[in-house]
Chains A and B, each alone.
Chain A
Amino acid sequence: EDQVTQSPEALRLQEGESSSLNCSYTVSGLRGLFWYRQDPGKGPEFLFTLYSAGEEKEKERLKATLTKKESFLHITAPKPEDSATYLCAVQADSNYQLIWGAGTKLIIKP
């Protein structure tokens, strides 16, 4: 069964304290792995797509990496405005559904 597990469930950091969020997945043939950010009361906002192991993508203070079993979202020197829930999803070769993790709630304290 395709599934996605994100850890930790919640992460509190001081401003400027770098860390990583984890997304472990099992899927029968990976079409793509997606990272989204979701603010309270809003829809998910697209961040990155990764297609194959070894791939990396960066955007401002965020960098996403991918292996055959997991993806990491590294956040460098975060700011309070980076506080949000970060969602990971995978899309299998067999269909177009996105399988979602439950998210990591990131809180950056000034």
Chain B
Amino acid sequence: NAGVMQNPRHLVRRRGQEARLRCSPMKGHSHVYWYRQLPEEGLKFMVYLQKENIIDESGMPKERFSAEFPKEGPSILRIQQVVRGDSAAYFCASSPPARRGTEAFFGQGTRLTVV
């Protein structure tokens, strides 16, 4: 049973370009979470999705950032017109249908560098 798969592992974008980060959850998991991690800082929640639904996007900037989890295919975190401050590690986690204190399992992350 493969774990959470994220790709690419490393992504370099010039300022103003678009970044698309992909996440395939573990088999049987219908809930996906995206987090951002800056060096020496904790993980920051961005968005929580279920298939075809955004449940909580309170941690995601209102502009330039969007996320989706279509019925078929991976979840996508999209950052338009990237700026240097978007450089970070972006982690995706998945869990089975949420119940009390359900643990989430993480992918290896995508390290975005904006030059």
Stretch at the interface among B13-21, B66-74, B78-86, B97-105: B97-105
CB of B75 to closest CB in A, whole Å:
15
Which residues of chain B have C-beta atoms less than 8 A from A96's C-beta? 33, 48, 55-56, 98
Residues in B13-39 with C-beta less than 8 Å from chain A: 33, 35
The count of residues in chain A whose C-beta lies closer than 8 Å to any C-beta of chain B is: 25
Contact-size category for B? 20 to 34
| B41, B45, B100, B107: the one within 8 Å of A97 (CB) | B45
**CA gap between A103 and B38 in the complex, in Å:** 12
List the B residue with the shortest CB-CB distance to A6. B42
Q: Classify the secondary structure of A's interface with B.
A: strand
Q: Tell yes or no: A54 within 8 A of B by CB.
A: no
| A51, A97, A102: the one within 8 Å of B42 (CB) | A102
Q: List 5 A-B contacts (CB under 8 A).
A: A32-B103, A87-B42, A87-B43, A101-B42, A102-B40
Residues of A within 8 A of B (CB): 4, 31-32, 34, 36, 41-46, 49, 51, 87, 89, 91, 95-103
